[in-house]
Structure 1
Amino acid sequence: MTKYLISFPASAMDISEEDMPAVGEAARAAIREAKDAGVYVFGGGINEDVAPRMVAADGAVTNETYPQTREFNGGFCVLELPSREAAVQWAAKIAKACRCSQELREFGYDPES
């Protein structure tokens, strides 16, 4: 089976403070459903309170990131699914729960993982 990344940037969630608890519960329910179905691998949200670091091959650490990933934040999950069609269906469930569109990406196959 193939692993899929389903994610969204924090800016995609235009949710009022009073709606946030319901959205959080709906999102957790979608993840519980994925766990119950046996397709959940892992997921979470990017901690925006901790700045990203760039780590070079020599171990040098700098307080920066790749320019194209400066806005990498929000939430994500990885699901292992039998088809892209199944991944689209799960992304739609998560989009409905989070009230925002989800980006769907497929991981490449690695025979050693």
Structure 2
Amino acid sequence: MTKYLISFPSGAMDVPPEEMPAVADAAHAVVREAKAAGVWVFGGGIDEDVPPMLVAADGSATPGTYPETARIEGGYSVLELPSAEAAREWAAKIAAACRCAQEVRAFQYDPES
């Protein structure tokens, strides 16, 4: 089976603050469904209040990130699924819960992960 990243940037969610509890409930329901189906690997939202940090091989750290990834934020789910069609089906469920389109990407196969 292939692992798929299903994600969206924070700016894609255009939800009034008073509706956020309903969005959270709907999203958690999809997470519970994915866990019950045995396809859930990991998920969560990037904490945008914590700045990114680059860590080198020697352990030294500098604030910031690669320029091309400076805008990584939003929500991410990793599901292990039998097909791209299944990934689209789960992405549609997450899109409905979060009220925004989802990006789907497949991870390359790695027998060690």
TM superposition score normalised by structure 1? 0.96
Corresponding position: 1:40 with 2:70: no
Greater displacement, 53-62 / 80-89: 53-62
Alignment correspondent of 2:69 = 69
Which amino acid letter does the alignment assign opposite residue 17 of structure 2?
E
Alignment correspondent of 1:90 = 90
Identify unmatched segments of 5+ residues in structure 1: none
Q: Aligned pairs, how many?
A: 113
Alignment correspondent of 1:7 = 7
Alignment correspondent of 1:22 = 22
Deviations 1:71-102 (A, max 9, x none): 11111110000000000000010001000011
4+ residue runs over 3 A deviation: none
Which amino acid letter does the alignment assign opposite residue 66 of structure 2?
Y
TM superposition score normalised by structure 2? 0.96
Secondary structure, in 3 states, of the residue corresponding to 1:5? Answer: strand
Which amino acid letter does the alignment assign opposite residue 11 of structure 1?
G
Alignment correspondent of 1:80 = 80
Which amino acid letter does the alignment assign opposite residue 30 of structure 2?
A
